[in-house]
Structure 1
């Protein structure tokens, strides 16, 4: 690959050539540059020409000095300057024309020590005896390159600014077109949208990079009808918001980013002049929308459920557009985001109440998504001010829906149409059981979605829980040793007993499992029986209350990781849980229960051990481990203790309809596809389907084994996305984007051109 810089180096070497049979070797090559046009190339030339010396103020690092110093350096009298053997010193004289040196009588005294070299050396220049100009060297028919470059003041100015970038391009790329000011400016400032945003944001200034700024200003003036040398960033922001002409491209770039905070500040000072302007350009309108929506959601607390549903529908019609704006993507419209989930809850159908199976199947198919919508509404609005508004909406429409479902299931149990689970009489057929604590059906459905995104084949079914829906009762029921346990005729802790009569606490359960040949931590052999546990949903729910909603997504992600680890080790999984739970910000409604009716320490949030022969209106259901023990459940979605946002132990679809998942060991082949690559200047944005938590690297050349062009690989986020910058040193060169697993294996790859889509 030959560049104009290569040609310039060769020409300087050729200037030192001579006929050894008839001439003495030149003492130096004198390179005059009256207009300093080659000066931007000096740093690159110094790296390649150690014999290059420069006239000017003394600077040892750049081998620069006055004429006397240059004369001494050429003579070898300056120890710090070492001219390579068989090389001829090159004296670059910026601001000096050859006529100045050759006119000895008129030559300034400070330059006179160099006059000798016009006789004893050779002068670098055009064959016509004149000094090379930059354009002349590049375009002259009698020069080495013969490129086509316009000869006007604007082009000459642009060439001076873009000289280094231009002269380091391959000559083959530069030929075949006529270069003018616009093309040269674009070469130096190729990304007008990014430069404009950086300028408004204060990251790009004329002082910091005069040459690039000049090119940018010329392009902006021509393409955007905006001159940053005369107008302010606020003026630019006003045009940005209106998105007229090519300003729309600048807006698109801004909308795709999450930075440019000063641009946001400038936009916040603007308002639309008419209703026909882009309303989504203005953060003030979004902020007003959030304030209005907050007040309206808070007002739902005073309405009946049906009126609240109608009001939510109206709010959704008014505010839905804000979810598609740049402000929503920047996290500035949390209530508009939450409203989408609240609207789904408001539109939810009541669960069937005539049949238990119909109720359960409807809950699995659609009801669990209502629960997930409630959790997402809370998660997307974490600020306390917004949470209060979301909580008011959930209490207006989600709490009545949840209460109706609980009442329906309780009635079905009361009349004998639903029988909750009893302990199994035989051991499980599975050899690997993964217990996920508190895996409610909505979390299980989200878990399935994420596993399928990872290329895992998983089946989801359901089963009734035991009762009461607490860990002490229900976890032993799904353990592989459940058939060995029994229930006593009386209990205060609702724990079954081991064959030795010990309460089935976790240590006792684990010891019993190990006695039956089950590993309870990690199995060394893939065919060994394994009981594994993951998940902290129940633990965090008791600790965090409604704030659990903010932790659910991360908890599901952790469960996915554990499942993938086991399945990729060759195991087929049977995934179970103990119970679900209810969650309501502000606390579940209170169900009064006289303490005198309850056994000592027998009262919990959603269930209670009622004394024998005690009279109570609450539904009493036999304990799963012993029909001699009856346990009362709080009516509907209520709690025996007030103020509890998170609770379980009672009867409701959320607590009693448990997910059962099965994953085959051959279902773990991960499908990884590079679905999108997009260059924004020299920043590459990448999206990989099935790529969550994998790594990507960009490697030089079209092969997957090339050198990395980025400092360390990048980890893809949970959506399979990342971005990174690439040095302009490799612009327009071929590169291979690779997706890697933790062992460095290439799972997918794509060949790209750096900086070009």
Structure 2
């Protein structure tokens, strides 16, 4: 029961009488000589319909002089209607019980009420004294029986906080010491740490949004709990203490870390303060991590160290990167990373993976050995480069990551490409030609989805995204058709490739319909060939009916790569999310499975791939990494047979070089990154396994912070807490958090009023789809 409910009950109970010997009281008189209760009377009137107030005539506020109150009792006041089953309560501010009893001496304006003390009852203590706030809270005879401090500071704070005290639960206050700190905290909204952070963030604007009493209470709470006076010391002194994070300020810092974006001005506040001397000693991150200046210096130092890798051999550069990762990894736990101020600290994590993977050169064994080595570990170097580039935006940071990539990744890439080219030249390319490639299996109710430029590492990301959405993905390794360009590769990935061939005079790598010789350039004749062979061709937004077999094309990876260069790294994940959404729509339309195929991979090198020159006199057509040689032209270039016609040969650039113009992104040559691809066959997980995709196994509350553990396929999932599982608008957390690599995540509920309320933990896919849910109680049971 709330205090206000207890107060109302006590007031009403004072009118209880014995009908055997008494008549019903005409009213309840509530004297309050010191006007202690006056501030909360309007609030009480909202819940106590029979409460009237002695004062100036204002019937709309149920207030009037003594004679008017007499008229109300007599039923002669048409402007007031009282509940028929309640005894009227008359609140008398500035009037004591003694004033009423001294009839001859009481003021004229009060005399009409004097006789009501005999026809009514007076709400008072058992000792006949008026009920003060302190007495009502402390007394165990008609009061609340609470432990209330009686010093003047506590009394003043109690008076100011009375309005909010009324809504407190009596059971929660029993056994608690109600002192000035309690009342001041209550007056400031019950969350002084949040208020302190808001003050540090808003400065003077904070005080203008608070009443005088609230500001005073806020100052008193800070003085008591933090030994800090906001009024006297000022915002910058507080920002400095926050950054130092010592003593009671450590908990303030932890609170800031939970939701730093709620206080956007705080980093600049701290920057206005003078930090400790960062140069005289080596202080770890836990000592200086609260200072954005220190984090900025560490970022600059890391930037300089990465730029210096340009002068080191690859093996020394790898060692240096792994050392830098150990040094800067702790900074990823600091708030500055969440605020986007530590991009290189994030990038070095991925560069360290690149350094570790490239320790193993792909320059030994047969082609089959290279395939295994790349498919198990080597692809992670490509993925790490994309991830590192996705972390940076500023030109200086991009240059630093570029330098590290070129120092380590470029030599590894070059060596593996040259070794593969040496193995393949003069022997048999594992991708073969159309004559050696078996026909596609025509599985009923399967839709084939062609994605241009789905490189192996990117296909692995797509696979993880799909599994997180509840799909089962089967991978099959394939070698792209040579040369690794779309003109050759898309037709080779189609289910009608046995109906396609290449002419002897083709110099643009475009095959044709075998029966008619019509070129497939432009796509019309490929679609017609598919239709003629009973394959439905779905447009970009069509899902089909799930019957028979279908072909569709989706995804802009290759075109984005050519247009954006290294910046493709920043767009990979959104592109994959779109592709995953498309696959989900196709499965939902009734297709039993979706087979994802591609034409080729690609090379990506920030700072541009190396170039080699070839005379225009030797070529009929020259693309990025391949060129068709004029008939009879003498050349020292290695020549390879065209997938569609072995009699037609072309040149491939050595290593990872490009013909002519230097670019960041290219393909058409012979390398593991361009030629070794994955086919993905995607089905709903439920069709192959009854197991749940992801399951919440552990739930731990610490205050309003909830940490969960998840088993199953939790990659790319995020955690939210909602009052209604299916409604994103019912989220109660500061921000939705992605699950970490170990399957855990923590979220914070900031509204303390929700503590004890039932809610749902929900796991969400990258597209926001609900994957799993679990019941919980906010704050713990």
Q: 1:673 and 2:673 equivalent? A: no
Structure 1's 213 and 691: CA in aligned 2 closer, same or farther, altered over 3 A? farther
User: Quick one: which of 424, 434, 441 aligns to 1:428?
Assistant: 441
Mapping of residues 313-712 of structure 1, within 5 Å: 313=322, 315-347=324-356, 348=358, 349-416=360-427, 418-423=429-434, 424-430=437-443, 431-498=446-513, 499-504=515-520, 505-521=522-538, 525-526=545-546, 528-567=548-587, 569=590, 571-599=592-620, 602-665=621-684, 666-667=687-688, 671-674=693-696, 690=714, 698-699=722-723, 710=730
Q: Distance in 2 between matches of 1:735 and 1:426?
A: 54
The alpha carbon displacement at 1:552 in A equals: 0.6
Q: Distance in 1 between matches of 2:626 and 2:55?
A: 91
Q: Distance in 1 between matches of 2:755 and 2:40?
A: 19
Q: Give SS of 1:480's match.
A: coil
Structure 1's 652 and 195: CA in aligned 2 closer, same or farther, altered over 3 A? same
The alpha carbon displacement at 1:526 in A equals: 4.0
Q: Distance in 1 between matches of 2:65 and 2:637?
A: 102
Contact 2:455–2:677 (8 Å) recurs in 1: yes
Which residue is 1:271 aligned to? 275
The alpha carbon displacement at 1:694 in A equals: 8.2
Which residue is 1:197 aligned to? 197
Q: Distance in 2 between matches of 1:323 and 1:413?
A: 44
Structure 1's 207 and 655: CA in aligned 2 closer, same or farther, altered over 3 A? closer
Structure 1's 7 and 435: CA in aligned 2 closer, same or farther, altered over 3 A? same
Which residue is 2:227 aligned to? 225
TM-score scaled to structure 1, two decimals? 0.86
Contact 1:4–1:171 (8 Å) recurs in 2: yes
The alpha carbon displacement at 1:743 in A equals: 12
Q: Distance in 2 between matches of 1:511 and 1:730?
A: 61
User: How many aligned positions are there?
Assistant: 749
Q: Distance in 1 between matches of 2:760 and 2:39?
A: 32
Structure 1's 662 and 716: CA in aligned 2 closer, same or farther, altered over 3 A? farther
Can you list the C-alpha shifts for 1:614-655, whole angstroms capped at 9, x where unaligned? 223332211100112112112211111323221111111110
Q: Give SS of 2:628's match.
A: strand
Structure 1's 5 and 512: CA in aligned 2 closer, same or farther, altered over 3 A? same
The alpha carbon displacement at 1:270 in A equals: 3.4
Which residue is 2:13 aligned to? 14
Give ranges in structure 2 of 5+ residues lacking alignment: none
Larger CA deviation: 666-675 vs 612-621: 666-675
Can you list the C-alpha shifts for 1:103-141, whole angstroms capped at 9, x where unaligned? 556656776676565566443222332221223223323
Q: Give SS of 2:227's match.
A: coil
The alpha carbon displacement at 1:656 in A equals: 0.5
Larger CA deviation: 62-71 vs 223-232: 62-71
Q: Give SS of 1:663's match.
A: strand
Contact 1:355–1:412 (8 Å) recurs in 2: yes
The alpha carbon displacement at 1:610 in A equals: 1.4
Contact 1:692–1:716 (8 Å) recurs in 2: no
Q: Distance in 2 between matches of 1:340 and 1:609?
A: 42
Contact 1:55–1:93 (8 Å) recurs in 2: yes
The alpha carbon displacement at 1:14 in A equals: 3.0
TM-score scaled to structure 2, two decimals? 0.84
Q: Distance in 1 between matches of 2:243 and 2:22?
A: 70
Q: Distance in 1 between matches of 2:95 and 2:322?
A: 78
Contact 1:588–1:642 (8 Å) recurs in 2: no
Larger CA deviation: 68-77 vs 318-327: 68-77
Can you list the C-alpha shifts for 1:78-126, whole angstroms capped at 9, x where unaligned? 7664433344443334454344455556656776676565566443222
The alpha carbon displacement at 1:375 in A equals: 0.9
Q: 1:292 and 2:296 equivalent? A: no
Which residue is 1:256 aligned to? 258
Structure 1's 30 and 641: CA in aligned 2 closer, same or farther, altered over 3 A? farther
Contact 2:732–2:749 (8 Å) recurs in 1: no
Q: Distance in 1 between matches of 2:457 and 2:88?
A: 78
Structure 1's 78 and 308: CA in aligned 2 closer, same or farther, altered over 3 A? farther
